Every structure is written in C-alpha cells, then in structure tokens.
Structure 1
Amino acid sequence: MELSVVVPVHNEAENLAPLLGEIAQALDGVREYEVVYVDDGSLDDTGSRLLALRTEFPRLRVLRHRRACGQSTALLTGIRAARAPVIATLDGDGQNDPADIPRLWSALMELQTEQPLAMVAGYRKRRQDTGWRRFSSRVANTVRGGLLRDHTPDTGCGLKVFSRELFLRLPYFDHMHRFLPALAQRAGGKVVSVEVNHRPRLAGVSKYGTWQRLWVGIVDLVGVMWLQRRAHLPDIDESEGPLIN
C-alpha cells in the first residue's frame, strides 16, 4: 500500500460517486492505493450511499462518526486508520481535482530525499469561488502568513500530500486542518506548495460561513503562534558504540 486518500465528508451525498470515479481514474494502475472516506455525522444519505459504492469501488473504506465532530477530527480518524505511509487529502465537495494527486506525489517523493517528514500543499491560484470568498481568503492567507511565517500561499486548500508519520506528530485541536503547513514546519517538516486545479461546486452547499471562519480563525491563530513559540527542535548527537558489549 503506497497511498491512502482520505476524504472527510458531511452531507455530500450527490458528490460521492463522481469524486470516487475521478480518484479511480487518476490512480488506477499508477499507485497501489486505498480510499478512506470519513462520514462526519451526515444527516442526509451520505452514509448509505457510501456503503453501496463499495461494490463499485473495492478500494473504498468507510468510517463514520455517529455525530458531527468537524473536518479536523474526521481527518484524524481517517489518517489514523490509513494503511499507507503517504496520505493524500481531498475535500469531499468535488472542488479539488484528483488528477493532481500523482503530480503532488512526485513532488513529495523529491522533497523526501531531503527530509522524510514532508508535505506538499495544493495552491488554488485560480479559485472557482465567489468574489467575496476569494477576497476573504486572500486577506486571511496574508494575515496568517505574516504572523506564522509558514511561506504557504493557500493553507485552506484541501488537497495535500504528506507523510502519515508527520501528521501523527502534530498537536491535535479542532480546526487544525487550517494550519497544517505551519504545524508541519513546527514539527521539523519541510513544506512546499504546488499549483493545482480548482473547480466550482456542482452539488451540495458549503459547510462554512465567512464570519464563522473569521472568528474561529482568530482564536486558533493565536493558539498556533503560542505553539510555535514553545517549540524546540534539538540537534542530537550520539556517541559511537556502546561502552559495554
């Protein structure tokens, strides 16, 4: 197993089959992979449709939260259950393009020759969202980047490929998925951004409002700054050979 594709979803019934089809098209015959969907307490028929889709997509694994816990918790559930050393994450709304995964995989493999704990973050340079959403994200990324110095132009992109070991070293908290590059760097990981395709949402509705993200983001930003200031990455030397055989 080379790659685990982890997809958190909440009330995305209409987007399940099309996205799974695109994942298969992008990865069949390219990587040995699995797809781990985490149904985060959906109230529509997301759960039943996922179970039915296992027949058509035998690489699909389905995990379910009995109540909604949020995207970060759903990611943690999926990554803990994943069987591959490399993780690719996708938003379940279909706006991320699975065809970009092999390119991000290649970028990660190159990066891991320098640092095994590494992350490649998608950069939605040409976002297919409303003007207001693009503007608010641009402001948020500018403020976050200036304070955290994570050198990542788009931390909100759900498409990322990274070492599973790296993710499991990160401190967990609600909404941590918005700060993965900064947290990865805090843990000693290396992060690069790669431009990816972005599509308009064709079904379902967004789960986050601008003001909700703003106020939660301010509190979380302060918390991540605190974590950064308390981090220490020691350089470790070990004396050669034991004194007693």
Structure 2
Amino acid sequence: MPFSDKALPDGTLAISIVVPVRNEAENIIPLIEEISEALGARRDYEIIYVNDGSTDTTGERLSAAMKRWPNLRQLKHGISSGQSAAVRSGVRAARGAIVATLDGDGQNNPAFLPELIRALEEGGERVGLAAGQRVGRKDTGFKKFQSRAANAVRSAILNDGTRDTGCGLKAFRREVFLMMPYFDGLHRFLPALMRREGFDVAYVEVIDRPRRSGVSNYGFFDRLWIGIMDLFGVWWLIRRKNPTPEVNEVTPK
C-alpha cells in the first residue's frame, strides 16, 4: 500500500527523507520501496529526491514513482551542482523538522533510518546530528584506503570525534542545518560544524552494502584539492567562532 501523507496540525511533517541522485535510474524504485518499508509504521514523513542534473531516465522514473507514492517529491537541478548542493536544496524544501539523508545508489541501507531518527529524538535539543558510521565496507581496496586516509587527516585537524564522515546516512534538525555557513562539500564536515554550533553528535553503526547498479558519480582526484581547501576552511571557521553569550531579557520591576 502506498503511504498516505499525514501532516501535523500546522501543516508541517515530522520527518523528511532527502536523497540526492544523479544518473541512478535503475536504483530509484528499489530504494523507494526500502525507505517506505523502513518507515512504514510512521504517518508523518515525506521522501524528497533531488535530481542533480541527471542525463539518464532518473527524472522519468521518479515522475512515474510519484503516482505510486503520494508522499514522494522530486526537485530538479538544471545542471549537476554536486552532492552538497543537492542536499541543501532538499533541506530547504523539506517540510519536516527532522531531515534524514542517504545516498541514492543503494549502498546505504534504509533499514537504519529509524535508529538514526530515534537517536536524534531521544537526544533532545542538545543533539543536532545523528551520524551513521559504516562497518563492513563494500568498496574497493583503493576506495577504502583513500577514505581511511581522508578521515584520519580530517580527524587530526578538526578533532571532531568522528570516525567516518563519508556515510550518507545522517539525521539532523532542519533549523540547525540551515544555520550553518553553506559551501560545496558541507556534507562531509557536518559533525565538526554541528559541534561548532554547540550541539552534540550521536553515532549509529550501520552496515554498508555493495552498490546495486551503475557506477559512482563522485570521484576522488576531481575533489582532492577542493577537499583540502574545504578542510582548512572549516578549521578556520571553528577557530573564529565566538562563544555564544548568555542572553537574559530584562523586564520592568
């Protein structure tokens, strides 16, 4: 049975699932089915696919799927603008107070979405992000090596207490995400930026899967130098953050 949208009294939703995709036509339907199965007991969520300038039949598959799933929305970028831009477009359009993200290639298992959302909800206002931490990586040896190296360098410079920032499975508070300075590559530094804003980060171990079909749209060498510049840019932002002063309203006596 397709999910029936049920908005909260003020017209918003509790949860928005944001999935950035580019040229993932074969993975569209299987992943939507898994997301719907994982969150089937809830009646307060939407799924937002951000079509980041796809040149295959991704857009057509999503348009057809919207007839089957009334809670499915598609946003389209005229040209490919990257994963961070796609995530931001989805978050800005989201009606949910909590946003959860996952990659559109099928490697992130939607079965872990409820656990991520629960970790965020149970953490209360002090927790701004629940981040998936991959175990049993299914990538090639070279990709696992480059990921370990990048995470080690990032952790040493930012001291963000996070083993794996590359996992697409995350849940965060929409209003907190939109407070952050936006830049291309933002999604790779969410734990450090959340801590910069004074929020805690919860961690959930998730089991990685092989890509279902297609090839990766995100290379290593084409983002290497940009990633290094982003790293030192985030380090600068953290260093320049002023403590938030305590504010008390004065009322007449």
Q: Provide the TM-score with structure 2 as the length reference.
A: 0.92
Aligned counterparts of 1:12 and 1:235: Cα–Cα separation in 2? 46
The residue type equivalent to 1:36 in the other structure is: I
Match of residue 140, structure 1, among 123, 141, 150 = 150
Match of residue 183, structure 1, among 150, 171, 193 = 193
> Contact 1:3/1:31 (CA < 8 Å) preserved in 2?
no
> Contact 1:188/1:233 (CA < 8 Å) preserved in 2?
no
Aligned counterparts of 1:235 and 1:63: Cα–Cα separation in 2? 39
1:97 partnered with 2:109: yes
Secondary structure of the residue that 2:73 maps to in structure 1? strand
Aligned counterparts of 1:234 and 1:110: Cα–Cα separation in 2? 25
Aligned counterparts of 2:180 and 2:200: Cα–Cα separation in 1? 13
Match of residue 205, structure 2, among 188, 195, 219 = 195
What corresponds to 1:242 in structure 2? 251
Aligned counterparts of 1:108 and 1:31: Cα–Cα separation in 2? 18
**Displacement, 1:31?**
4.9
Alignment of 1:38-49 (within 5 A): 38-49=50-61
Aligned counterparts of 2:203 and 2:163: Cα–Cα separation in 1? 8
> Contact 1:50/1:62 (CA < 8 Å) preserved in 2?
yes
Identity of matched residues, % = 53
Aligned counterparts of 2:243 and 2:205: Cα–Cα separation in 1? 30
CA deviations on 1:124-146 (whole Å, 9 max, x unpaired) are 02111111111110111011011
Match of residue 44, structure 2, among 12, 32, 37 = 32
**Displacement, 1:232?**
1.5
> Contact 1:2/1:86 (CA < 8 Å) preserved in 2?
yes
Alignment coverage as a number of residue pairs: 241
1:110 partnered with 2:119: no
The residue type equivalent to 1:242 in the other structure is: T
**Displacement, 1:207?**
1.2
**Displacement, 1:55?**
1.2
Match of residue 159, structure 2, among 143, 149, 152 = 149
The residue type equivalent to 1:206 in the other structure is: S
What corresponds to 1:208 in structure 2? 218
> Contact 1:152/1:192 (CA < 8 Å) preserved in 2?
no
What corresponds to 1:14 in structure 2? 26
Structure 2: gaps (5+ residues): 1-12
1:172 partnered with 2:179: no
1:233 partnered with 2:243: yes
Query: What's the C-alpha RMSD, in Å, of the aligned pairs?
Result: 1.3
The residue type equivalent to 1:63 in the other structure is: L
Aligned counterparts of 2:135 and 2:202: Cα–Cα separation in 1? 14
**Displacement, 1:30?**
3.0
Structure 1: gaps (5+ residues): none
CA deviations on 1:224-245 (whole Å, 9 max, x unpaired) are 1111111113231315x5227x
